[in-house]
Amino acid sequence: MSSADAAWSRMLADLDTRSLRRSLRPLETPQGTEVVRDGRTLLNFSSNDYLGLASHPAIIAALREGAAHHGAGSGASRLLCGSLPPHGELEETLAAFKGTRAALAFSSGFAAALGTIPALFGKGDVLILDKLAHACLIDGSRLSGATLRVYPHNDLDRLESHLGWARKNFPNSRVGVITESVFSMDGDLCPLAEIVALKERFDAVLYLDEAHAFGLLGAGGRGLADALGLAPRVDVQMGTLSKAAGLAGGYVCASRAAIDLAINRARSFIYSTAPPPAIAAAAIRALEIIASDEGNQRRQRVLGHAAHFAAISGLGPVPAAIFAVKLGEESHALESARSLEASGFLVPAIRYPTVPKGGARLRITFSAAHSRPEIDRLTLAIAHGLEHLCPAVLPKAAKKKGELGALGQRDHGTMRI
């Protein structure tokens, strides 16, 4: 073993002792609500495939047709010779969907943030981020070279004071506010109307990551900004095609100048091969479905599941399709996830560094592809698990015990808990 390997092994052992080591456990089935892992069938509450589009026959067909028409790979960066018809069409579709002048597609949401933030902000500018902003927003901000300030999660007073500080000390700079609309690991919303009012008061720019709202909230699934009638006042709307759209790829929707500057300056766009054209073609199909009646039905179904879980668990509101059962200790989260797995549920434990140290949790995501009895079964399993492991987390749910108890007596056929 080389000395580097020995050091890397010690680092892994250290992660192990702190219950922070991660490893890959491949699924043996395609993405869906029932998956097989390590030979066991599990009910999947860990995917961001909110609308169940990852397995949609029309989207799979669009991928096939896209490859047949446009080839498998794009061959080069868009700026060399990789800009194929579906790439431009996808961007026109995205801009029309979001009501912006222009859009730019990337190979992932992560690449979109990593490229766009440093394209639009640089040394001498100020970026102000929510403490819980996604890793790609943090990394993109760091790469930009701008002066960074962080405000506690959704804390408007601190955001206001950072904005005041930025405007006073950097009077001629661009000042950007960066936040998610639905937070990926907490599932709560940002106070968007207040943030928009603040950024306007201080002549700042709002960069909004709608990764977990896209496809779910707003008319036709256009996002939280649309739901609140604020979309025209958000400067940059970012998102991903890998969650509700069931595919892969990221996007930014913004003014013509912002998008043209990103084409010229976003390094993850310029120096990266264009996404396969079939993915762009299938994403256009996914957007059509998302905006259609079928999309509305799927949205109603998944948001209905979330509301139902909130009502019968008593654990708290679920404004989109993510719920975090906060357990604190890493080992508690791991133990809970393992015991849920033993009962046939795939609910991941989320640990540091994805969430703050001591902020470990179970992260539940709902899908339109789930059935109502499946939501009931999960709710019961969670309540049972909490009762045994972390009764302190359960005060509200315990009060609702009557409701949960009644649920337990109902016949759910294949209930495995």
- Is 110 one of the binding residues for ligand PLP (CB under 6 A)? yes
Q: Which residue has the tokens 């890793």?
A: 135
235 is a contact residue toward ligand PLP (CB under 6 A)? no
Residues 123 and 142: beta-carbon distance below 8 Å: no
Nearer to ligand PLP, 146 or 245 (CB): 245
Q: Nearest residue to ligand PLP, using CB? A: 109
- Span from 35-43, 65-73, 102-110, 347-355 in contact with ligand PLP (CB under 6 A): 102-110
- According to CB under 6 A, which one of 46, 93, 100, 240 is a site residue for ligand PLP? 240
Q: Least separation, in Å, of the C-beta of 101 and ligand PLP?
A: 23
Site size for ligand PLP, by CB under 6 A?
13
Catalytic annotation, residues: 48, 134, 180, 184, 209, 212, 243
Answer whether 276's CB lies under 8 Å from 72's CB: yes
Residues in 111-140 that interact with ligand PLP by CB under 6 A: 134, 136
User: Of the candidates 115, 140, 250, 385, which one interacts with ligand PLP according to CB under 6 A?
Assistant: 250
User: Between residues 180 and 235, which has the closer beta carbon with respect to ligand PLP?
Assistant: 180
Please state, in angstroms and rounded to a whole number, the distance separating the CA atoms of residues 156 and 199.
Answer: 11
User: Which residue in the set 66, 82, 109, 385 belongs to the binding site for ligand PLP (CB under 6 A)?
Assistant: 109
Task: Give the start-end residues of each E strand in 271-388.
Answer: 322-328, 345-346, 349-350, 360-365
Stretch that binds ligand PLP, among 9-17, 107-115, 200-208, 281-289 (CB under 6 A): 107-115
Q: Is 102 helix (H, G, I), strand (E, B) or coil?
A: strand
User: Please, are residues 363 and 340 in contact by the beta-carbon 8 Å criterion?
Assistant: no
Beta strands in 71-229 (DSSP E): 102-106, 126-130, 147-151, 175-180, 205-209
108 binds ligand PLP (CB under 6 A): yes
Number of H helices, E strands in the chain: 16, 13
Binding mask 186-215 for ligand PLP (x = CB under 6 A): -----------------------x-xx---
* Shortest CB 112 distance to ligand PLP, Å: 7
212: amino acid identity, one letter: H
179 binds ligand PLP (CB under 6 A): no
Instruction: Say if strands 126-130 and 147-151 run parallel, antiparallel, or are unpaired.
Output: parallel
Least distance between ligand PLP and beta carbon 107 (Å):
8
| Residue 266 engages ligand PLP in binding (rule: CB under 6 A) | no
Q: CA 106: distance to chain centroid?
A: 16
Question: How far apart, in whole angstroms, are the C-alpha atoms of residue 380 and residue 374?
Answer: 10
The residue within the footprint of ligand PLP, chosen from 44, 47, 147, 242 (CB under 6 A), is: 242
Burial status of residue 118 (CB atoms within 10 A of its CB: 0-12, 13-18, 19 or more): buried
Least distance (Å) from ligand PLP to the CB of residue 241? 7
| 109 or 385: CB nearest ligand PLP | 109
Q: How far is the CB of 400 from ligand PLP (least distance, A)?
A: 30
Nearest to 258 by CA among 208, 196, 220, 193: 208
**Which runs of E-coded beta strand occur in 64-160?**
102-106, 126-130, 147-151
The residues of the shown chain that bind ligand PLP, judged by CB under 6 A, are 108-110, 134, 136, 180, 184, 209, 211-212, 240, 242, 250
